[in-house]
Structure 1
């Protein structure tokens, strides 16, 4: 090839590559969607998952595809996102699937289950272990396409007005805790409530509840729980790595050009990474601040942890006997965990037990 021809072709290619975003924008009409979330805007990190998806989609489409996120309660209640997306009231949602286990208990696996997987294991199971594929069959029955779009990492074990040292101390305790973790706490004797984020502090302040779990130090300090509950427990055994999810109404999804579908998927994956990064950088500072304000850190006793784990796996066996879908997902999840745990115990736990002191 002559040098002049080569340079000419290279110049044409460069122009075409540079023009790609413009061509993409011109080939698709402008789209504007609404996204309902379960989160108050004040919780900027967890609400930030929705913001990340919205901002990245807009940037990657040259402003042609705009998604407007709304806080819980602005369009629908914080616990009504599933139905809003399923019915097409909104095109998208950002929420935690374990809020909706009343529709199908298997939805808990899309978020987290007690004594389950850590952040890296959860992502490995969802993306490479068949988890997302099986869960999408459930969501498809409700006209929803789901994407992992955020994770808080292992959470704290909640705020309590009084110390809880034994299982007996949980009897009659009124606690806000969702998902299968709430089912386990109920089996241990607690009276469980499920409240959206914006309603937790008033309930704790007025004594409607005696204890609550939320997320971790950064969000919990913002919520002000330390002002009305003194004892801060760990670990959050019911949420070792809760995934937050983007929901897309199936009809709305099908209406998108293929390249826009890929952009939504990529933006969700970015949110899944960014949220964990944010929490890992903000929680250490917030925990120190909470302790400086008089918060008393407590670790759950072995008695409570062992009793909770026993009840958790008894619950899984019962749900498997009642529900074939739950059994199918649980058996695959359990097999994945059985293979994954020894590796993490070998590499991660041994390092952490020596170094994180």
Structure 2
């Protein structure tokens, strides 16, 4: 917390000094440029790598090649969890990843991917684009010398793959389970031994017994990863990532060196990938789930006692971070927007789909 406080004060002090100084006209880099993108995804990981590649291709094509994005998948330049530091230090120009991997830098980063018992994909978009989420993302990123936008969304993620059925909260005690972000911290409160592994390492860890279970994304991406080859118990609704956003982040100095048109292209490239990626996941999940079930996978739901434990542990995780001013500010904004969005969605989409499904069988 002391490191974050120092960074916050340094950022605010820098902003004050800048405001008191007459600045020269911005200097934009000239000519064609190649920007290096690092990602938290192994090359070819279904959906998430696709979103990173789409962001890169969008920027390259929309600038007519004035900016060419050279994508380096996890491990090709830096490790998956080293992307933030690589971009912040200038080793790379930009990253594509899930910002909850950066909770070590600041726990508020989790809100821009997903927090347990938090927003669906639509609720996240509502908050981000129309209720202050983007501005708060920028405020947090400014402290660390970053400029980012949402650049993908997985939709609701599954509860995960287990070697045995979960009958109650006590079954998590001692369970070695892969789950990043604040969801992982909440699961730890139930006694789980939580592991934070890059996506490209999860299959081998599950196959070798290094972990007892894992969440990844959803039926399509999970099928591609091959988890059904190892275990057949699959919980189809999870508490930890009900609509996980992905981020396209850039070193702030690199961003400032772009022309205004290129900056706008960067933002639009991320936004287009964000919407496209959500549709990609949602359009593929149902057919993949049918294939998994045909292959003998048993689809399950957690009992209410487990959901109650998830909710309690999730709130405890939030409460532990409320002493941080930025965290509380983001939390308050996020929760207010979620309450507002949810109230209308239940009355409109929720009521409609329930009646549609009832009448159509």
Q: TM-score, normalised by structure 1?
A: 0.90
Structural RMSD (CA): 1.3
Using the TM superposition, give the Cα deviation of residue 262 of structure 1 relative to its aligned residue in structure 2, in angstroms. 0.8
Using the TM superposition, give the Cα deviation of residue 70 of structure 1 relative to its aligned residue in structure 2, in angstroms. 1.4
1:44-63 superposed Cα distances (whole Å, 9 cap, x missing partner): 42111111111111211212
Using the TM superposition, give the Cα deviation of residue 28 of structure 1 relative to its aligned residue in structure 2, in angstroms. 5.0
Using the TM superposition, give the Cα deviation of residue 348 of structure 1 relative to its aligned residue in structure 2, in angstroms. 2.2
1:257 pairs, out of 256, 259, 262, with: 259
Using the TM superposition, give the Cα deviation of residue 153 of structure 1 relative to its aligned residue in structure 2, in angstroms. 0.5
Q: State the distance in 1 between where 2:46 and 2:308 align.
A: 34
Unmatched runs of 5 consecutive residues or more in structure 1 = 1-26
Q: State the distance in 1 between where 2:93 and 2:68 align.
A: 12
Q: State the distance in 1 between where 2:206 and 2:237 align.
A: 20
Q: Aligned to 1:69, what secondary structure does the other structure show?
A: strand
Q: State the distance in 2 between where 1:133 and 1:95 align.
A: 19
Larger Rg: 1
Q: State the distance in 2 between where 1:273 and 1:336 align.
A: 20
2:105 pairs, out of 99, 103, 115, with: 103
Q: Aligned to 1:90, what secondary structure does the other structure show?
A: coil
Where does residue 279 of structure 1 map in the other structure? 281
Using the TM superposition, give the Cα deviation of residue 311 of structure 1 relative to its aligned residue in structure 2, in angstroms. 1.5
Judge conservation of contact 1:201–1:223 (CA < 8 Å) in 2.
Answer: yes
Q: Indicate whether 1:351 and 2:348 are aligned.
A: no
Judge conservation of contact 2:44–2:50 (CA < 8 Å) in 1.
Answer: no
Q: Aligned to 1:214, what secondary structure does the other structure show?
A: coil
Using the TM superposition, give the Cα deviation of residue 89 of structure 1 relative to its aligned residue in structure 2, in angstroms. 0.7
Unmatched runs of 5 consecutive residues or more in structure 2 = 1-28
1:5-40 superposed Cα distances (whole Å, 9 cap, x missing partner): xxxxxxxxxxxxxxxxxxxxxx95111111000111
Q: Aligned to 2:246, what secondary structure does the other structure show?
A: strand
Where does residue 9 of structure 1 map in the other structure? none
The correspondence of residues 330-345 of structure 1 with structure 2, limited to 5 A, is: 330-345=331-346
Aligned pair count reads 330
Judge conservation of contact 1:28–1:64 (CA < 8 Å) in 2.
Answer: no
Q: Indicate whether 1:324 and 2:325 are aligned.
A: yes
Q: State the distance in 1 between where 2:296 and 2:353 align.
A: 27
Q: Indicate whether 1:84 and 2:83 are aligned.
A: no
Where does residue 11 of structure 1 map in the other structure? none
Q: State the distance in 1 between where 2:190 and 2:356 align.
A: 34
2:315 pairs, out of 313, 316, 320, with: 313
1:108-159 superposed Cα distances (whole Å, 9 cap, x missing partner): 0010111111111101101111112112111111111011000010111100
Judge conservation of contact 2:46–2:224 (CA < 8 Å) in 1.
Answer: no
Where does residue 10 of structure 1 map in the other structure? none
Cα separation, partners in 2 of 1:307 and 1:353, compared to 1, 3 Å = farther
Q: TM-score, normalised by structure 2?
A: 0.89
Where does residue 40 of structure 1 map in the other structure? 42
Where does residue 25 of structure 2 map in the other structure? none
1:78-124 superposed Cα distances (whole Å, 9 cap, x missing partner): 11111111111100100001011111110100101111111111011
Where does residue 56 of structure 2 map in the other structure? 54
Q: State the distance in 2 between where 1:324 and 1:182 align.
A: 22
Where does residue 190 of structure 2 map in the other structure? 188
Q: Aligned to 1:219, what secondary structure does the other structure show?
A: helix
Q: State the distance in 1 between where 2:46 and 2:212 align.
A: 26
Where does residue 127 of structure 1 map in the other structure? 129
1:290 pairs, out of 289, 292, 295, with: 292
Where does residue 17 of structure 1 map in the other structure? none
